[in-house]
Amino acid sequence: RSMATLVLPEDVIFQILIWLPVQSLLRFKSVCTSCYSLIQSSHFKQCHATTTTTNVVDKNSKFGNTFICQHETLVPTPPFCLLSDEGFKELEDLGKQPCLKDARQSGIIDMVDCVHGIICMYNRITRDIVLWNPATRQCRLLPKSSNGNPKIRHYHHDFVGLGFDVETKDYKMIQVSSLGPQNENWFGRLNIPRKVEIYCLSTDSWRLLDSDFRTHCCSQTLGQSLNGIYYHLGVDYTAEPDKYVILSFDLSKEKFPKSDKLACITTPYEVSGFHKVWMLNDYDTGKELWTELYRVDVTSPKIQTGYSILAILWNGKFGLFIGRTWLLYNFITDEFEDLGFGEGFCSPTAAIYKESLVSVDAAAKAISS
């Protein structure tokens, strides 16, 4: 008697595959032609990159409850690693990066953003910008912008950020460049005109948006892209007195919306000992309503003073703190846990990471509708 072949509908196969980690998907591409076509499709890559997976328990998957960390090391440890799995007890080495030719370069290359599994790195000396997908091992060096080679004996400072345009389904790079003579004093450097340029992955090209942008962008903090808006910290030196502001850049309209009341940020010299986490509601309606979610007392006897927040997971449950050691803070239970691998780690940065199949190749648009 012949055995009937069970054929699952394509939409069922789609829903099964979309929950799998990248390594499994790369293997499934070799199973059959239909699997290859499905996994290679831009629609599948988009859904896989943006799917919310808070209920996934597969500890071999990196589904948004993972920190990607970069640090300078005093001991022979990897400069890029993942802090994942249950309990956040292990640092997973991401391997050798194609853009880092030797270990000495790790101290001048900054991780400036992470969007849909794509890591954006910036070389402070050469001003090179690199997009890297650790899951697929793709690495792409972007072309230089018009400000890529400043004049000799001129000061330069770049703010670089990566975001996703939800309307065109394209990845865009923002670069705010400050250029001026090296003999300019510190305050003069803060007030020099800044050029804002944008790079589109789909066209592999830069465009000038503004040649007289006056707000200073703080490069020591990572920005965040959400729903087509890129947010980052800045300082308005035209105000009296100077004030910290949260800048928002609309990746579709390619403009900085005018939102003077978006946020008020204070950094008093007398540290209060509290970190506060706020959530912005109804931004699109113009109401700009903020709600305080958590308040962390860093003067608690549970920890020593001098700790700062590196990153907070999307579920709002865990925060990664750094001081003399690395701490994991549970916002729900108000408990700190020393992760036990803080020795020898210097100048760390961290971001939320979710692995993806998104390509950094500009020849084929990474995600298209």
Q: Per mean pLDDT, which range of 9-23, 181-195, 218-232, 353-367 is the poorest?
A: 181-195
| pTM of the full structure | 0.79
Q: Categorize the per-residue pLDDT at 187 as very low, low, confident or very high, splitting at 50, 70 and 90.
A: low
Is the four-CA dihedral 151, 103, 63, 22 of positive or negative sign? positive
User: What domains, with CATH codes, occur in the chain?
Assistant: 41-354 (2.120.10)
For the cut 80, the answer to whether the pLDDT of residue 208 exceeds it is: yes
Query: The tokens 């070799």 sit on which residue?
Result: 30
Q: How many CA atoms lie within 13 A of 283 on its CB side?
A: 18
- Asked whether the beta carbons of 237 and 214 are under 8 A apart, the reply is yes
∠ Cα 290 53 336 (to 5°): 60
Q: Categorize the per-residue pLDDT at 108 as very low, low, confident or very high, splitting at 50, 70 and 90.
A: confident
The percent of residues above 90 in pLDDT, for the chain, comes to 5
Q: What is the pLDDT of residues 235-294, one digit of tens each?
A: 777 777 777 778 888 899 888 865 555 444 544 444 456 777 777 776 665 566 777 777
pLDDT score at 258: 54
Query: The tokens 């939409």 sit on which residue?
Result: 11
Is the four-CA dihedral 63, 67, 72, 75 of positive or negative sign? negative
pLDDT score at 201: 92
